[in-house]
Amino acid sequence: MPNFLTTFLLLVISLTIIIVGIGEFVCHGQDVDMDSQYLDEDGDHIYYDRSLIEKKLFRRRFPHITDIRSFSRLFRGE
């Protein structure tokens, strides 16, 4: 019984290695930059950095107002 289990595990591991190797060989030649379509002109990621982008746009529109939305201002009570 232990021989069968060892053989089965070796077979599963070797098949996994073969499948991963074939996948790497097939996908290796493709340089796909999926993330570049989500970057704005400042290089900020438009999905993850949405609040940062909104703050930058607000600063561009109203340069005379400083520190309008910040985490520290929330606790200062202003």
> Distance between CA 54 and CA 5 in Å, rounded?
58
The per-residue pLDDT for 23 is 84
**pLDDT bracket for residue 77 (50, 70, 90):** low
Contact, 13 vs 21, CB < 8 A?
A: no
- For residue 34, is pLDDT > 80? no
To the nearest whole percent, how much of the chain has pLDDT over 70?
A: 71
∠ CA 36-44-65, nearest 5°, is 160
The per-residue pLDDT for 51 is 74
Work out the average pLDDT over 14-25. 91
Contact, 54 vs 68, CB < 8 A?
A: no
Which position has the higher pLDDT, 35 or 5? Answer: 5
